[in-house]
Amino acid sequence: LGGRMEGFIRLLFGYLVADLLTLVCRAQEKAGQQLGSFVVLSGGNHSSLAEQLDPSEPPPTPDFCRGYFDVMGQWDPPFNCSSGEFIFCCGTCGFRFCCKFKKTRLDQSTCTNYETPLWMNTGKPPSRIDDPLHDPTRDKTNLIVYIICGVVAVMVLVGIFTKLGLEKAHRPQREHMS
């Protein structure tokens, strides 16, 4: 069991080192730097943005994705698409992200979700006591309920004490023997 576990740990460590070297090579490939005595070339199976553009055209400027309300009513703040090859604002009006192809760019002028959605406007919140629009004379319902409950409670107490008093009055008198 110990030999298998040691072999597994070595395999896992080798995988992590290989993955780390792959990430370093990709980062240097994008930067066009040398790795030791080897020159890392870009291209290969990856299509880059420079290969798709006409050399006579100036390079495109990064897009700015405007802030918007998504389908859940949450405000998503604006952001710049300036991360490497991902310079175009793509997606839908309710979900935006940066992409690298101009043909999939989102026309943000057609979107209408820049204002608070109508279904989120649930009405005016209740007025506060210190609000100048609050009218205390209009709020009489609680006072009426308190008065009625108080009268009923007093009547119940009067009835209970009356019954106790009558029972005590009609009880036969006991003689006190010493």
For residues 90 and 104, is the Cβ–Cβ distance under 8 A? yes
Please state, in angstroms and as integers, the Cα–Cα distance from residue 129 to each residue in 19, 63, 123, 136, 137, following that order: 63, 49, 18, 8, 12
Asked if residue 150 is part of any domain, the answer here is no
Q: By residue range, what is the domain housing residue 67?
A: 58-107
Residue 66 lies in a domain: yes
> How buried is 116 (Cβ within 10 angstroms: 0-12 exposed, 13-18 middle, 19+ buried)?
exposed
Residue 87 falls within a domain, yes or no? yes
Tens-place pLDDT, residues 57-107: 677 788 899 999 888 888 899 999 988 889 999 999 989 999 988 899 999
What pTM did the predictor assign? 0.38
Share of the chain above pLDDT 70, in %: 67
173, part of any domain: no
Residue 79 included in any domain: yes
* Dist. CA 89–CA 50, nearest whole Å: 18
How many domains, in total, are found in the chain?
A: 1
**For residue 84, what is the DSSP state?**
T
